[in-house]
Chains A and B, each alone.
Chain A
Amino acid sequence: MVQGHERADCLIEVHNLTKRFGQKVAVDDLSFEVQPGAVTGFLGPNGAGKTTTLRLILGLAHPDKGTATINGTPYQRLRAPMREVGALLDAKAYHPGRKARNHLLALAQAGHIPRRRVDEVLGFVGLADVAGRKAGTFSLGMAQRLGIAAALLGDPGVLLFDEPVNGLDPEGILWVRTLMQSLAAQGRTVFVSSHLMSEMALTASHVILIGRGHLIADSSVEDLVKRSSGSFVRLRTPNDDLVAPRLVAAGANVQADGDGALMVSGLDQSAIGDIVFQAGVPVHELSLQEASLEEAFMELTRDDVEFHARHQPVAQAGAPQ
C-alpha cells in the first residue's frame, strides 16, 4: 500500500454528537477524538450506542445535534471517501448471489479504484481461492474477511471496524488482531468497536468507553486499569488469626477470599511482608492482584448497562397480578 504517505492528519473528531430514536437517546452529547498511529478501542456494553456512533461518523445516519468529521471534513463531503476511510460495519453486507470478486469490483468502480486492486485485497485477506464463489456461501469468518477487503480497497488512512472478531475462530481472531496492529503501526487511524474488554486489552492501546450513549472514559488502557479500585494483595499464610489483626491495626482492609487466602488492600506488598515477618508467620503467597481490564470495564459500566438481569423468584414471576 502507500509508503511514506503523510498520515499525521488522519483523525476522527466527534463533537457533541447526539442521536435520538423516538424517546430513546442512543448517542448522548458524545465528544472524542481518535488519533492516528494507534488502535483505539471503542467499548461499551451491548446497546451502548457504538454502532450508531460509527454510522453517524460514516454519514449513514444523520445526527440530531453535533458533528462528526474525518480529517476535518464530514464523511458526505469527502472528495474520495474510499481512499480516506475504510469501514467494516456488517460483515454480511453483500448480495448472497454475487461472487465475492464482483462484489468488490462494484465497490471499487464506485470509488474510482483500479480493478487490479480487487485481486490484491482478495489475496491479502486470504480469499483469492474463493473469489469466484458466491458470497452467500461464505462462512461468517470468510464474510468478515470480505468486509475487511472492502474496507482496504482504497488504501485508506482511517479505518473503522464494528465488532470485527465477532463469530471468528481463534485463528481468525489472531489474524484480525495482527492486522489492526500493523495497520496502526503504518500510521493509520484504527478505530475498533467491541463489547469484549478482553479483546480490546490485547489489541488496543487507547480506549473510548461509552455507556447508554455517553462517554464514560477516554484514556489509555493502563490508566483505565489504575482508575478502577480493584487492586489488592493476596496473602496466604497458615496463621491468618495472627496476621489479620496486625494488618487491620496498620490500617489495611482485610477480607477472606473464600479460598484460604486473605485479600488485603490499603497497604503495599512490602508493608504487608514486614508485618507478616514481625508476626513470625510463614508466607505461602504474597502477590499483587491487579484488576483486569475486564473488571475495570464491569465496574465502570455497571450503571450503564441497558438491561440488567432481573432476579425475581420464579414463583412470584408466575403469580397472578
Chain B
Amino acid sequence: MTQVAQAMTAPLPVAGRGPEFSDTVRSEWTKMRTLRSTPITLAVTAFIVIGLSALITLAVVANQNRPETSARRNPLSIIQSGWGLGSLAFEVLGVLMVTNEYSSGLIAETLLATPRRLRVLLAKVSVFVVLVFVVAEVMSFINFFVGHAIISAYAPFPNVALSDHNVLRAVIGNGILAVLVGLIGLSLGAILRHTAGAITASVAVLFVLPLVLMALPTSWEQPVEEYWPTQAGSQLEEVTRQAHALTAWWGTGDLALFVLVLLVIAGYALVKRDA
C-alpha cells in the first residue's frame, strides 16, 4: 500500500494536447532504433551488396579479354550487380517492421496508444522511407566509388564517371528503388501479418513472378517485361534505355503506383480488420 501511495504522489501534468502525428513518428523511430536487429540488418545488407558488387566487378574486369565477358561492356550495370540482392534485404526490412509487431503482440499496445490506425501506418512508412533512403543512398555512392576504383585499375576496360550522362541519376536511383521496393515489403507485411508469408510474397513479386511471366509467349512477355512494377522500376538504374522498357521515370512511376496501391490495401486492411 505504501509503495502504491508513494507512486501516486508524483502527479502527471495535465495534458496540454492529445498525441499528434509527430508523436507517433517519434514512437515508431524509437521502436526502430532500439532494436539491435535494425543496425545489424542494415550493416549486413550494405556489406553484402557492396561486397558482391565489388567481387563481380573484379571478376568481369580481370577476365576482360576472355570471350564470355567481352560482351559485357556496360560498366555501371557491372558495378551495381549486387543490388538485386539488396532489394530483397530492404523488402525483408519492410516486412519485419510490421510483422514483428504481430508476432510479438506489440501491435495491440501500439493501437491502444494510437487508435487511429492509418496514423500508425503512415508513421511507420515515414520512418522507413527516411531511414532506408539515407542508408541506401550512402550505400549506393560507396558502391559506385568502389566499383569505379576497381575498373580504373584494369584499364582499358571502359569506365564511367558520375558526370557521364544519366549516371548520377542511376546512382541516386538505387536509393529511391530501395525505398519503393522496401515499401512493397512493408505493405505485404501489413496485409499478410505473418513474417514467413509476407517474405514469400515479397520474393514472388521481386523475382519469381517476373520469371514465370517471362515464360509466357513472346506477345505476352514483352508487355510484362515492360510494365511489371519491379522490372519497370529497375530502369532507373540503367543509363541507356532498354528494348521493351519504359523510360526511367515512367518505369519508376509504374513501380510507385504499384506501391501506392499496396499501401492503400494495407491501410484498408489495418482499419477494417480486428487487430
Instruction: Name A's B-contacting residues (CB within 8 A).
Output: 1-3, 55, 58-62, 75-83, 85, 87, 89-90, 92-99, 102-103, 105-107, 109-114, 117, 120-121, 123-124, 126, 150, 154-155, 178-179, 182-183, 186
B116 touches A76 (CB 8 A): yes
Q: Supply 27 A–B pairs (Cβ within 8 Å), ascending by A.
A: A61-B274, A76-B115, A76-B116, A79-B18, A81-B115, A83-B12, A83-B15, A87-B112, A90-B108, A93-B104, A94-B104, A95-B100, A96-B104, A98-B35, A102-B30, A105-B34, A107-B27, A109-B23, A109-B27, A109-B30, A110-B114, A112-B15, A113-B12, A114-B12, A123-B7, A178-B1, A183-B4
Interface string of B5-30 (1 = CB under 8 A from A): 11111111101011110011011101
Which B residues are CB-close (under 8 A) to A178? 1, 4
Task: Choose one: A99, A110, A179; the contact of B27 (CB below 8 Å).
Answer: A110
Nearest-Cβ distance from residue A157 to partner chain B, whole angstroms: 12
Nearest-Cβ distance from residue B48 to partner chain A, whole angstroms: 22
| CA A157 to CA B170, docked complex, whole Å | 56
Which A residues are CB-close (under 8 A) to B4? 124, 178-179, 182-183
B275 touches A1 (CB 8 A): no
With contacts A79-B18, A112-B20, A124-B3 known, is A59 near B10, CB below 8 A? no
| CA A3 to CA B6, docked complex, whole Å | 12
A78 touches B115 (CB 8 A): yes
Interface string of B94-122 (1 = CB under 8 A from A): 00000011001110111111111000000
Q: What is the count of residue pairs linking A and B with beta-carbon distances less than 8 angstroms?
A: 134
Task: Choose one: A93, A95, A99, A113; the contact of B108 (CB below 8 Å).
Answer: A93
Nearest-Cβ distance from residue B18 to partner chain A, whole angstroms: 4
Nearest-Cβ distance from residue B22 to partner chain A, whole angstroms: 9
A110 touches B23 (CB 8 A): yes
Which A residues are CB-close (under 8 A) to B30? 102, 105-106, 109
Q: Which single residue of chain B is at the shortest CB-CB distance from A93?
A: B105
Q: Which single residue of chain A is at the shortest CB-CB distance from B23?
A: A112
Which B residues are CB-close (under 8 A) to A182? 1, 4-5, 8
B110 touches A110 (CB 8 A): yes
A2 touches B34 (CB 8 A): no
| CA A46 to CA B252, docked complex, whole Å | 53
A3 touches B100 (CB 8 A): no
B275 touches A97 (CB 8 A): no
| CA A77 to CA B114, docked complex, whole Å | 10
Interface string of B262-275 (1 = CB under 8 A from A): 00000000001011
Q: Which single residue of chain B is at the shortest CB-CB distance from A113?
A: B12
Q: Does B70 contact A (CB under 8 A)?
A: no
Which A residues are CB-close (under 8 A) to B5? 182
B23 touches A60 (CB 8 A): no
Which B residues are CB-close (under 8 A) to A98? 31, 34-35
Q: Does B66 contact A (CB under 8 A)?
A: no
Task: Choose one: B15, B34, B106; the contact of A99 (CB below 8 Å).
Answer: B34
B19 touches A80 (CB 8 A): yes
| CA A95 to CA B108, docked complex, whole Å | 12
B274 touches A112 (CB 8 A): no
Task: Choose one: B10, B116, B274; the contact of A62 (CB below 8 Å).
Answer: B274
Q: Does B37 contact A (CB under 8 A)?
A: yes
Q: Which single residue of chain A is at the shortest CB-CB distance from B37?
A: A97
A106 touches B27 (CB 8 A): yes
Q: Which single residue of chain B is at the shortest CB-CB distance from A120?
A: B10
Task: Choose one: B6, B28, B100, B108; the contact of A60 (CB below 8 Å).
Answer: B108
Q: Which single residue of chain A is at the shortest CB-CB distance from B100?
A: A95
B105 touches A109 (CB 8 A): no
A97 touches B112 (CB 8 A): no
Q: Which single residue of chain A is at the shortest CB-CB distance from B7?
A: A124
B19 touches A60 (CB 8 A): no
Which B residues are CB-close (under 8 A) to A55? 274-275
Task: Choose one: B3, B11, B34, B105; the contact of A90 (CB below 8 Å).
Answer: B105
Q: Which single residue of chain A is at the shortest CB-CB distance from B107?
A: A93
Which A residues are CB-close (under 8 A) to B10? 1, 120
Which B residues are CB-close (under 8 A) to A61? 274-275
Nearest-Cβ distance from residue A193 to partner chain B, whole angstroms: 15
Which B residues are CB-close (under 8 A) to A155? 11-12
Nearest-Cβ distance from residue A118 to partner chain B, whole angstroms: 11
Which B residues are CB-close (under 8 A) to A82? 19, 112-113
With contacts A80-B18, A93-B105, A117-B12 known, is A111 near B7, CB below 8 A? no
